[in-house]
Amino acid sequence: MAEPIAITGPAAKPRRTPSRLRNLFAERQVLFGGGFILLLVVIAIFAPFIAPKDPLEQDLMLGSLPPAWLDGAEPGYYLGTDDLGRDVLSRLIYGSRIALLVAFVSASLAALIGTVFGLLAGWYGGWADRIISRIVDIWMAFPPVLLSILLVAVFGSGVHSVIAAIVIIDWTRFCRVVRAETLAQSQLDYVTAARTAGFPRMKILTREIFPNIVPILIALVSLEMGIVVVVEAILSFVGLSVSSDTPTWGGMIAQGRQLIHHAWWLLVAPLAVLFTTVLAFNQLGSGLRRALDPVLRR
C-alpha cells in the first residue's frame, strides 16, 4: 500500500511585532509635541546665533514698536519692541532657555526622588508604605503654587531656588503614581512566578516591575515638564524667579499686562509661546504613553 503523501503548505511567517521606535513615529501626538519641543531645544541652545538682536539692548527711541505686519513697524524687529526698546522676538528666544532648563532639571529630579520612594512604598508595604504615604498626603494638602512661592521667597530668587522649590513640591506626584502602579504590578502572574523561582525581592523590583512602570513614568515626566513651565512663568510673573534683567516668559507677561492697552503684542507673544509649549509637552506625554504601553495599543 502506498504511503500517503503529506501535502504541506507554505510555511507561516512569524508575526513581527512593531518596534517601539515605529510606534513612536506612528503617533501624531508624539510627532507634534516632540517636534515642537525639539525645535524649541535647538532654538534655546543656539539662541546667540538665532536671535536677531541683543535681548538686553535698550533704545528708548524705538520703544513700543509694533510687529512687522502692522503699520509703524521698524525693519528687523519682527515682533516689535517693549517700552524700553528691547526686541520682543530675541527676548522670547532667550526666555526659552530658562523655561526649558527649569523644566528638564526639575522634572527629572522630582521623578527620580518620587520613583524611588514610590517603588519602596508599593513593593515593601508595611511601615515604609504608611510613613511615605502619610508624608505624601500631608505634602499634597498644601496648594502647590502658593507653596512654591513661599519656598522661593525663603530660598531667595534664582534658577537654583526655583528648581529646588519645584522638586520639593512635585516629587509627591511621581511617588503616588509609582506606588499605585507598583501595587498593581506586584499582584500579576509574572511577579508571582519570579517569587516562586526564588528571585531576590530587590531583583524582582528592579528587573521585573520597574521596566513595566517606565512607560507611564515617561509620560508623567513629559506632563510634569509642562506644569513646571507654567510654575516658572508664575514665579517670574511675580518677580521671584531669576533677576529682572534675564528674559523670561513670565516676566514678559507681567510687563505686557501693564501695557496691554497700547502694546497688546507684548502680552500676546509670550502667552502664545507659553500656551504652545505646555500643549506640546502634554501632547508628547499622551503620545508616549500610547506608544510605549502595550496595553493601550491593543
Predicted pLDDT of residue 108 = 93
- The percent of residues above 90 in pLDDT, for the chain, comes to 33
The set of cell numbers assigned to 230 is 507654567
Residue given cell 498593581 in the structure block: 184
Residue given cell 513612536 in the structure block: 24
SS3 87: strand
Q: 97-114 as b/e, with b when 16 or more CB fall inside 10 Å?
A: bbbbebbbbbbebbbebb
- For helices 88-124 and 265-292, the axis angle rounded to 10 degrees is 30
pLDDT in tens, 108-119: 999 999 999 999
Q: How far apart are CA 135 and CA 33, in angstroms?
A: 34
Q: How far apart are CA 110 and CA 213, in angstroms?
A: 16
Distance of alpha carbon 40 from the chain centroid: 13
- What is the assigned CATH class of domain 27-49+76-292? mainly alpha
pLDDT in tens, 159-200: 888 899 899 988 999 999 999 999 988 888 888 888 888 888
Can you give the residue ranges of every domain in the chain? 27-49+76-292
Distances (CA, A) of 121 to 180, 194, 219: 9, 20, 21
